[in-house]
Amino acid sequence: MFEHSYEEQLRLKEEEINQDFDDLFSGDKDVFPSLEENFRIRAEFKIGSLSQNYLMMDFDKNFLDIDVCHIVDKKILALMPLLNLEIKNNDILKNKLFRLEFLTSRDEILLTLIYHRKLDKEWEDEMKSLSEKLNIYIIGRSRKQKVILSRDYINESLFINGNEYKYFLQENTFIQPNRHINEKIISWLVDNAPNKDDLLELYCGHGNLTIPLAKNFNRVLATEISKGSIANAKKNLELNNIKNVSFVKMSSEEFTQAMNKQREFFRLKDVSLDEYNFSTILIDPPRAGVDEKTIKLISKFENIMYISCSPKSLKRDLLSLSKTHSIKKMAIFDQFPYTKHIEMGAILKIKPD
Ligand SMILES: C[S@@+](CC[C@H](N)C(=O)[O-])C[C@H]1O[C@@H](n2cnc3c(N)ncnc32)[C@H](O)[C@@H]1O
């Protein structure tokens, strides 16, 4: 049980953020609460080697037995006890199983089972019947082995300002954990993005933000370090029949070198950087934030849209960017309820000379 209600917890987070960013932005921030239950579309559990119960680490890094998990999506919630019964009663399924990863969309579930043993034909046959019985997709993983029974992705739809966008959610790539908040982040960006020129996006993942934002711009160039996410982003582009976006697998550090003409990249052979008319940049970096050279590149753009899962690195980066830009808007998205973590957004505009 928590000391404070969900509302109170969010209010306390808001208060802390307002204090932390007081010297940078004095306006009101847009605040987007999460659903209070069933908000997580992905969840990972360990399996007790003797009990075969679901285990999760608490804030002090002790493993806790999980009977019911109210924060996971209703589809995962319904599957958990059925699957646990199967694990307890099925030797092929439970033998050296140590971890489970659930990923769900509105209609489908992908379950990854991770083992300390080699997966054989017997396991495959058994899992095929289990996936039919439970109506889920199953992947098996163990050291240097990945067994996909039918597919390693599920179909998802997001609704942004009344428009539906379709995505393949691919196993083992970055996926925003809270669908409701993800839709709020994207709508906030779509509503606040300029409707002109071209967009450069760094850290684009599977095109989660890119795809709905594409219609605000003439053309979009989006880059990302993960090969799997870029392959997935290209499929998502086709799925939504979007023609004005190019995805390229590049780290932000590499892309900065390319933009500064310090290095040529074969991966950019089909992209004429000089032909783009970039006036807006969108970044959604990992927790560490943005490296110094990339910050320099970003500071040259007229408009900056920054989504961050770490207020600490966001503040550091905004302190640098506030030399050249003013902060026009900020938002708080409660992507991770009942934890200390929070997602934030900032919209910046270059200062006149
Ligand atoms: C917070 S996620 C955001 C992804 C995407 N915007 C979304 O909404 O799903 C950060 C992404 O940055 C990528 N990444 C991590 N380090 C990177 C780097 N140095 N250069 C480019 N991308 C990086 C990760 O692979 C991940 O996809």
Minimal-distance CA residue to ligand 1 atom 15? 286
Minimal-distance CA residue to ligand 1 atom 21? 251
Backbone torsion region of residue 219, taken as left when φ is above 0, otherwise alpha when ψ lies between -120 and 50, otherwise beta: beta
CATH topology of domain 6-36+178-350: Rossmann fold (3.40.50)
CA–centroid distance, residue 205 to ligand 1 (Å): 5
* Predicted confidence (pLDDT) per residue in 156-214, tens digit: 999 999 999 999 999 999 999 999 999 999 999 999 999 889 999 999 999 999 999 99
Report in angstroms the alpha-carbon separations of 199 from 43, 69, 137, 266. 33, 40, 36, 22
Closest CA to 267 of 277, 279, 282, 257: 257
- The answer to whether the CB of 170 is under 6 A from ligand 1 is no
Counting from 1 in the atom list of ligand 1, the atom nearest the Cα of 174 is 27
- The answer to whether the CB of 252 is under 6 A from ligand 1 is yes
What is residue 1's predicted lDDT score, i.e. its pLDDT?
61
What is residue 62's predicted lDDT score, i.e. its pLDDT?
87
Tokens of 288: 């560490």
* Annotation marks residue 309 as catalytic: yes
What is residue 296's predicted lDDT score, i.e. its pLDDT?
97
- The answer to whether the CB of 284 is under 6 A from ligand 1 is yes
Instruction: Please choose from 167, 169, 174, 184 the residue to mutate so as to test ligand 1's pocket, defined by most ligand atoms within 8 A of CB.
Output: 174
pTM of structure = 0.96
Q: Which CATH number is associated with domain 42-154?
A: 2.40.50.1070
- The answer to whether the CB of 208 is under 6 A from ligand 1 is yes
CB 318 within 8 Å of CB 327: yes
Counting from 1 in the atom list of ligand 1, the atom nearest the Cα of 229 is 27
Counting from 1 in the atom list of ligand 1, the atom nearest the Cα of 210 is 6
* Predicted confidence (pLDDT) per residue in 276-308, tens digit: 999 999 999 999 999 999 999 999 999 999 999
- Please give the Cα distance from 82 to 97 (Å, whole number): 16
CA–centroid distance, residue 175 to ligand 1 (Å): 10
Is residue 260 exposed (0-12), middle (13-18) or buried (19+ Cβ within 10 Å)? Answer: exposed
What is residue 58's predicted lDDT score, i.e. its pLDDT?
83
* Annotation marks residue 343 as catalytic: yes
Q: How far is CA 40 from the centre of its chain?
A: 12
- The answer to whether the CB of 229 is under 6 A from ligand 1 is yes
What is residue 252's predicted lDDT score, i.e. its pLDDT?
97
- The residues of the chain scoring below 50 in pLDDT are none
- The answer to whether the CB of 257 is under 6 A from ligand 1 is no
CA angle 258, 261, 267 (to 5 degrees): 35
- The answer to whether the CB of 305 is under 6 A from ligand 1 is no
- The answer to whether the CB of 172 is under 6 A from ligand 1 is no
Q: Where are the domains positioned within the chain?
A: 6-36+178-350, 42-154
CA–centroid distance, residue 225 to ligand 1 (Å): 7
